[in-house]
Amino acid sequence: MFSLLNTLVEKNKKYGREGKVASYIPALSEANPDELGIYVVDSRGKEYYSGDYNAKFTIQSISKIVSLILAIRDNGRENVFKKVDVEPTGMGFNSIVNLEASDSGKPYNPMINAGAIVTTSLIDGKDVNEKLEKILEFMRTVTNNDDISVNERVYLSEKETGNRNRALAYFMKSTGVLDGDVEEILDLYFKQCSIEVTARDLARFGAVLANDGVIPWTNEKFIPKDVCRIVKTIMVTCGMYDASGDFAVKVGIPAKSGVGGGILATVPRKFGIGIYGPSLDEKGNSIAGINIITDLANELDLSIF
Amino acid sequence: MFSLLNTLVEKNKKYGREGKVASYIPALSEANPDELGIYVVDSRGKEYYSGDYNAKFTIQSISKIVSLILAIRDNGRENVFKKVDVEPTGMGFNSIVNLEASDSGKPYNPMINAGAIVTTSLIDGKDVNEKLEKILEFMRTVTNNDDISVNERVYLSEKETGNRNRALAYFMKSTGVLDGDVEEILDLYFKQCSIEVTARDLARFGAVLANDGVIPWTNEKFIPKDVCRIVKTIMVTCGMYDASGDFAVKVGIPAKSGVGGGILATVPRKFGIGIYGPSLDEKGNSIAGINIITDLANELDLSIF
Amino acid sequence: MFSLLNTLVEKNKKYGREGKVASYIPALSEANPDELGIYVVDSRGKEYYSGDYNAKFTIQSISKIVSLILAIRDNGRENVFKKVDVEPTGMGFNSIVNLEASDSGKPYNPMINAGAIVTTSLIDGKDVNEKLEKILEFMRTVTNNDDISVNERVYLSEKETGNRNRALAYFMKSTGVLDGDVEEILDLYFKQCSIEVTARDLARFGAVLANDGVIPWTNEKFIPKDVCRIVKTIMVTCGMYDASGDFAVKVGIPAKSGVGGGILATVPRKFGIGIYGPSLDEKGNSIAGINIITDLANELDLSIF
Amino acid sequence: MFSLLNTLVEKNKKYGREGKVASYIPALSEANPDELGIYVVDSRGKEYYSGDYNAKFTIQSISKIVSLILAIRDNGRENVFKKVDVEPTGMGFNSIVNLEASDSGKPYNPMINAGAIVTTSLIDGKDVNEKLEKILEFMRTVTNNDDISVNERVYLSEKETGNRNRALAYFMKSTGVLDGDVEEILDLYFKQCSIEVTARDLARFGAVLANDGVIPWTNEKFIPKDVCRIVKTIMVTCGMYDASGDFAVKVGIPAKSGVGGGILATVPRKFGIGIYGPSLDEKGNSIAGINIITDLANELDLSIF
């Protein structure tokens, strides 16, 4: 496995040159487009890796999985899906049209920004700090990494440039989909997007999901099996922005990407996979990352279909 | 298994009363909303059934799978996906807005009407009859049923009331997505939708897909494995109209429904499932059918996630 | 006035070089982009002209005024506006999205293609020929020109390339907005768009509208005053495609343009104006035509506001 | 004229019962639906009135005219129309879809909320107070009423419930259409909407516009003629929410309504008209107000078309 991963990293590194790192905030634009790392954790907790698996980057949209899981834990599945739908959408991830187009007035799914702002708003806690602590605690457990924390510089930039998300949130506030103080909800949202991780962290989190919520290295039942299934399903239908359908056809593995360059993938009953490659394609997915996971899925016949 | 199926049919029959049979053409409106049948074929070809598994109905949108497979067989996967995308859409199955909203000008996926009109147009043949014969031949093979044929009365009604599909087709003709004679393409499209099947026919077809294209009762390799995977993936993301996301979360099995009341489901490496229940929910899916397959998936732990 | 028109033609001719003649059918693409003609008829029937006022071109969208007037004459104002709204739209003139976006299911107004197809469908007559004869007879009266007829070559091209209009018509057929045989309605629509006129013809028609429906050269009351008002109002709000608002602000005169290069304008109680300049701007309006009428309106203080 | 106005008020009062007063904030919901007042000022400053012409109400959307005029005065016409288009739209007045649908990214016109937020943002001044003072000063001059001021209670309610406007503003901030501090711009916007007026105030303002910007009672040239024309044009195409086209066809007078129940109308070279009737139709226009102005326009043949 190590040699396969090495081969694939060497082969796919070049794609970094065909994409672009995210540029809407300084911290992201400084990423090195040539970096590519991959980390694989199997269902017994055995780990394999290659390349820049230890490079740090912000989790960004991959945090949408976390707020979905915590929202369900705190409110129950039914109450969450009263506020956010689970239908995929071919439209862009931060579209406002989406909100109005939805018959129910609810965001289409928890993997678009509007949907994730809703799930974030549903996390219980007495203030932003307590809620953030819950998110960080969750992340530390599923990554077996006590150092998980927020990148303050990224957080401040996100907050400053987050007017599109503000528009989404105030719109949902006006339609009654969003409860609570908008600026506080957004503050937590920007913070969770700015959590710093490595490909290893993502792989371990993916292994917990693959393992139906049981942590491979402790055998603790940490996330309910049915919640893991919901998350993996939504990852397939909506996880890779509006390239989700194409990714499902070509790769066939539940996965979620972030504009920080990360991909978290999870092969039910088999593997958690973490990838880092900050150069993005037009849809906002790691370009080398998409290529390396496509190769890996083909080599190991990982498609769930 | 027989007794499980019997139990589930008895339990779920009542849901027929909560929906409505399709009413846009006479033949469909005459269906008996109380009927419910299920048929299961395992990967070695063993068959189980209960209820109205032998009732005949028209295949309707489930034929979209057939035209997709034949379009790929005749043109190659790349050429097909140049003309039709594979992105799910939260909007209605026969939306015209969808067509214009798509950046590429292509229909979002082959499971909406516009997309299926495109795949139908890509089937090779010297005229409508020859192309229809290919479709019927395919169906007869995957169902092991030489009697498969078109219900003429339904076909004539579909043709007469098909102005929305005509609008979609002429729109795609005007944008260059659709080649050939529009009325001929629609004629074939209406005919393929009017093919008459039973739950048994659908279950056998589903078993072939589950079996990666190998026919369980002959061991013939009939559909390439990668084509089966594409089809199963698109069934998950787009198969149940705009309830696809919800169905994936709740059931987690590739499935395709039709307004004739049929559902074809396929559990990779395990089962083909055919269901008939003509009473539909608001999204256009068999209401008792959705309920019985949800129960079956839970009982047998069939989710692929 | 003659010298003013000469000056303005000379000054504005150059704009033809900044636009493009319509190219979707051969006959239109052969037009000479340098041509510019203007014709003015005052309320007593006095006529002034300059440039290529005698060049022939097809009336195209300006015929939408004719079918609106005839539809109202044959059905009454209320029955027409049950089928087509009078709200302007910022979207393109041949948008299908428009149709679905409308709450009422009706086209937004009679100046977009969908709306004009509806008004054309409402003209009484036993067949296409009889209906066309009514349109031609109307045109001959308001232009005082017995030679008005259809350009067969343009008609055949329009018919051949008219798939977008076919899509609109079949869509409206499917929603019940359009009654009757779609192909026959479209045939009449393509014919009325292909009527050949000159700037003089348009100016005289405009003078009748300006004169509240009384023909200046015969004093015959030909169109009811309230119908003239409706037409002039809709010309202001919707007459210049999606540049209608901009044109109203800059020029302030009811006007309707066609992709053949014509503009018909009408200054209540004062003037009918006909313009020909086949080179179009991005919105589909005669580029030199827009410029010359802007100058004329400023010189003579013609704005109705 | 007095007796005509009396007759029309008596005749049209009853329509108040067929509509509903605005209910999104307490102050508006307390209005008396039976009230109806009309005030007419001719071009020499002569005044006529009947009914509840002296009742106070908030100006609401009619303030969009004021911010448009001040934005043009402070920035020039070209700079304003770089930021906001002048195209009518058949969609709702507070639609977010509108913003994204626009090719230019600009709001369609200054009479929808998004557009008015932009014009408000373009008023010069060192802070909200100075800018508000400019608006009030302008209003006091065109109404000859030094008591014009903000209704604090309405302002606070508007501010509290204004999340849809916040969404619009942050969206435009994110696309670069809106400059400056969003909350400050909205504060000014909510204040200008809460200015209290009577039908007399609106009639006098309308007379200034009718009179090409010259104040009838002082002969002062207060607003440039071309700005008055722009305003009157936009009132015709976009002034009555998405009933603008219908109103133009039926009445044919530039007018602007507000959900406070006011209508300001202006008949070029003839009259300014102010109406108050707080009961609204489905489009948000004063229901008795629309009826009385329709009668008045017919009686006096006021249509500009």
Chain C adjacent subunits, 3+ CB pairs under 8 A: B, D
Question: Is residue A172 assigned to a domain?
Answer: yes
- Per DSSP, which regions of chain B are E strands? 20-21, 37-42, 47-51, 57-58, 196-197, 255-257, 262-267, 271-276, 279-280
Q: What is the pLDDT of residue C94?
A: 45
Contact D248 C232 (CB under 8 A): no
Contact list, C170 vs chain B (CB under 8 Å): 163-164, 166-167, 170
Q: Whose CA is closest to D36, among D58, D60, D22, D55?
A: D55
C87 and D304 within 8 Å at the Cβ level: the answer is no
Contacts of A164 in chain D (CB under 8 A): 170-171, 174
* CB nearest D170 (choices: A97, A100, A166): A166
pLDDT at A243: 87
Does residue A243 lie within any of the structural domains?
Answer: yes
Q: C97 to chain B: which residues are within 8 Å by CB?
A: 96-97, 100-101
Q: Tally Cβ neighbours within 10 Å of residue A273.
A: 29
Distance CA D239, CA C120 (A): 30
Q: Which of A59, A109, A69, A61 is nearest to A228 (CA)?
A: A69
Report the residue of chain A nearest D101, measured CA to CA: A97
CB C15 within 8 A of CB C289: no
Task: Test D88 with C237 for CB contact under 8 angstroms.
Answer: yes
The C-alpha atoms of residue C18 and residue C20 are separated, in whole angstroms, by 7
CA distance D296 to chain A (A): 39
Q: Are residues C66 and C177 in the same domain?
A: yes
D199 and D188, same domain (yes or no): no
3-state secondary structure of D274: strand
A230 lies in a domain? yes
Task: State chain B's maximal CA–CA distance in angstroms.
Answer: 54
Total of domains in chain A? 2
* Closest Cβ opposite residue C232 in set D85, D232, D305: D305
Task: Identify whether D305 is part of a domain.
Answer: no
CB contacts of D102 in chain C (<8 Å) are 90
User: Given an 8 Å threshold on Cβ–Cβ distance, is C100 in contact with B95?
Assistant: yes
Task: Confirm or deny that A130 is annotated as ligand binding.
Answer: no
Q: Are residues C65 and C185 in the same domain?
A: yes
Which residues, listed in sequence order, are joined to residue B172 by a DSSP beta bridge?
none
Q: What angle do CA A125, A127, A131 make, to 5 degrees?
A: 50
Is position C158 annotated in a ligand binding site?
Answer: yes
Are the beta carbons of B164 and C182 separated by less than 8 Å?
A: no
Are B164 and C171 inside 8 Å of each other by CB? yes
Claim to verify: residue C65 and residue C188 sit in the same structural domain: yes
What's the mean pLDDT in B254-278?
98
Nearest CA distance, B127 vs chain A (angstrom):
31
Q: Decide: helix, strand or coil at residue B5.
A: helix
Q: Are B16 and B34 in contact (CB under 8 A)?
A: yes
Residue D273: closest CA among D50, D11, D31: D50
| Chains within contact range of chain A (3+ C-beta pairs < 8 Å) | B, D
* Same domain membership, residue D254 and residue D293: yes
Position B28 in a domain: yes
Type and span of the H or E element at A110: none
**CB spacing of B96 vs C167 below 8 angstroms:** yes
Mean pLDDT per 10-residue section of chain D, whose length is 305 residues: 97 97 93 97 96 98 98 96 82 48 71 94 97 98 98 96 91 91 98 98 98 96 96 94 89 97 97 98 96 98 96
- CB-based contact B86 A249, cutoff 8 Å: yes
Q: A155 in helix, strand or coil? A: helix
pTM of the model as a whole:
0.91
Q: Which of C89, C102, C246 sits opposite D86 (nearest CB)?
A: C246
- CA distance to partner chain C, nearest, from residue B234 (Å): 26
Answer whether residue A171 is part of any domain.
yes
The residues near B51 (Cβ < 8 Å, ≥ 6 apart) are B5, B6, B9, B13, B35, B36, B37, B38
Enumerate residues 6+ apart whose C-beta is below 8 A from A286. A19, A257, A261, A262, A263, A275, A276, A277, A278, A279, A280
Please report the beta strands in chain D, taking only residues with DSSP state E, as ranges in sequence order. 20-21, 37-42, 47-51, 57-58, 196-197, 255-257, 262-267, 271-276, 279-280
| Whether C259 is catalytic | yes
Of C97, C268, C277, C141, which Cα lies nearest the Cα of C198? C277
Query: Do the Cβ atoms of A167 and D164 come within 8 Å?
Result: no
C-beta atoms of C170 and B174 within 8 A: no
pLDDT tens readout for residues A78-116? 999 999 988 876 544 445 545 544 555 688 889 989 999
Angstrom distance (rounded) from CA D106 to CA D85:
6
SS3 label, residue C39:
strand
Query: Which pair of tokens denotes residue C141?
Result: 């009266």
Backbone angles phi, psi at B31, to 5 degrees: -65, 155
Is position D113 annotated in a ligand binding site?
A: yes
Residues 6+ positions from C300 with CB-CB distance below 8 Å? none
D98 is in an annotated binding site: no
Q: Closest Cα to residue A171, out of C101, D170, D158?
A: D170
Nearest chain A residue to D182, by CA: A163
* Distance from C-alpha of A40 to C-alpha of A275, rounded to nearest angstrom: 9
Residues of D in contact with A163 (CB under 8 A): 170-171, 173-174, 182
Instruction: Write out the residues of chain B at the interface with chain C, using a CB-CB cutoff of 8 A.
Output: 95-97, 99-101, 163-164, 166-171, 173-174, 182
Cβ atoms of residues C234 and C109 within 8 Å: yes
The single-letter DSSP state of residue D94 is T
* Residue of chain D nearest C210, judged by CA positions: D305
Contact in structure between A28 and A19 (CB atoms under 8 Å): no
Strand partners, C221: C214
Q: Does residue C276 have an active-site annotation?
A: no
Active site residue A279: no
C61 in a labelled binding site: yes
Instruction: Take residue C257 and report the two structure tokens written for it.
Output: 């343009």
As a whole number of angstroms, the distance between CA A231 and CA A119 comes to: 13
A24 is in an annotated binding site: no
Contact B236 A252 (CB under 8 A): no
* C219 and C113 both lie in a single domain: no
Q: Same domain, yes or no, for A124 and A155? A: yes
D8: three-class secondary structure by DSSP: helix
Residue where one domain finishes, among candidates A162, A193, A224 = A193
Check B121, B259, B267, B286 and give the catalytic one: B259
Identified catalytic residue from B241, B251, B256, B257: B241
Q: Please, where are the H alpha helices in chain A?
A: 2-12, 26-29, 63-75, 77-83, 97-101, 113-121, 128-143, 152-161, 163-175, 182-193, 199-210, 225-238, 244-250, 287-300
One pLDDT digit (tens) per residue for chain C, 305 residues: 999 999 999 999 999 999 999 999 999 999 999 999 999 999 999 999 999 999 999 999 999 999 999 999 999 999 999 999 888 765 444 455 455 445 556 888 899 899 999 999 999 999 999 999 999 999 999 999 999 999 999 999 999 999 989 988 998 998 899 999 999 999 999 999 999 999 999 999 999 999 999 999 999 999 999 999 999 999 998 899 878 889 999 999 999 999 999 999 999 999 999 999 999 999 999 999 999 999 999 999 999 99
Task: Decide: C59 and C197 in contact? Cβ < 8 Å.
Answer: yes
* Chain B residue with minimum CA distance to A268: B305
At B213, list the tokens. Answer: 């294209």
Q: Which member of A50, A61, A244, A279 is catalytic?
A: A61
What mean pLDDT comes out for the span A147-166?
95
Same domain, B181 and B231: no
ipTM value, please give it: 0.91
pLDDT at residue B172 greater than cutoff 80: yes
| Residue A305 counted as domain residue | no
Return the residue of C nearest to B175 by Cα: C164
- Among chain D residues, CA nearest to A182: D163
Verify D-B touch: 3 or more CB pairs within 8 A.
Answer: no
Residues A189, A204 share a domain: no
Q: Using alpha carbons, select from A73, A78, A75, A33 the residue that is nearest to residue A57.
A: A33
d(CA C75, CA C77) in angstroms, rounded, equals: 7
| H or E segment to which residue D25 belongs | none
Q: Pseudo-torsion of CA A279, A284, A287, A288, nearest 10°?
A: 70
- In angstroms, rounded to a whole number, what is the distance separating the alpha carbons of residues C236 and C247? 8
Supply the pLDDT for residue C76.
96
- Beta-strand pair C57-58/C47-51: unpaired
**Closest chain A CA to residue B252:** A233
Q: Among D139, D161, D193, identify where a domain stops.
A: D193
Phi, psi of B286 (to 5 degrees): -55, 120
- Listed residues D141, D158, D193: the one ending a domain: D193
CATH (domain of D87): 3.40.710.10
Nearest residue on chain C to B95, alpha-carbon basis: C100
Residue B255 has pLDDT above 90, yes or no: yes
pLDDT at D102: 58
Q: Reply yes or no on whether B64 is catalytic.
A: yes
The B-side interface with A (CB below 8 A) comprises: 85-91, 98, 101-102, 108-109, 228-230, 232-234, 236-238, 242-246, 248-249, 252, 254, 268, 303-305
Are the beta carbons of C167 and B170 separated by less than 8 Å?
Answer: yes
Could you give the CA distance from residue B231 to residue B142 in angstroms, rounded to a whole number?
15
Q: Do C236 and D248 touch (CB under 8 A)?
A: yes
Task: Tell me which residue has tokens 């039908």.
Answer: D199
Question: Mean pLDDT, chain C, as a whole number?
Answer: 93
Tell me which of D93, D159, D170, D182 to substitute to probe the interface with A (most A C-beta atoms closer than 10 Å): D170
> Cα distance from A256 to chain D (closest Cα, Å)?
25
Its domain, for residue D89, covers: 61-193
pLDDT in tens, B76-133: 999 999 999 888 765 444 445 445 445 556 888 899 899 999 999 999 999 999 999 9
Query: C71 and C55: one domain?
Result: no
Residue B165, annotated as binding a ligand: yes
Sequential DSSP letters for A63-105: HHHHHHHHHHHHH-HHHHHHHS-----SS-TT-SHHHHH-TTS
Whether residue C154 is contained in a domain is answered as: yes
User: Looking at chain B, which subunits does it touch, using at least 3 CB pairs closer than 8 Å as the criterion?
Assistant: A, C
C156 & C241 share domain: no
CATH assignment at residue B123: 1.10.1500.10
Contact A229 B305 (CB under 8 A): yes
Exposed, middle or buried by CB within 10 Å (0-12, 13-18, 19+), for D277?
buried
Closest CA to D59 of D220, D261, D219: D261
| Cβ separation D88–C244 shorter than 8 A | yes
Does residue C67 share a domain with residue C178? Answer: yes
User: What is the length of chain D?
Assistant: 305
- Tokens representing D2 are 């007095």
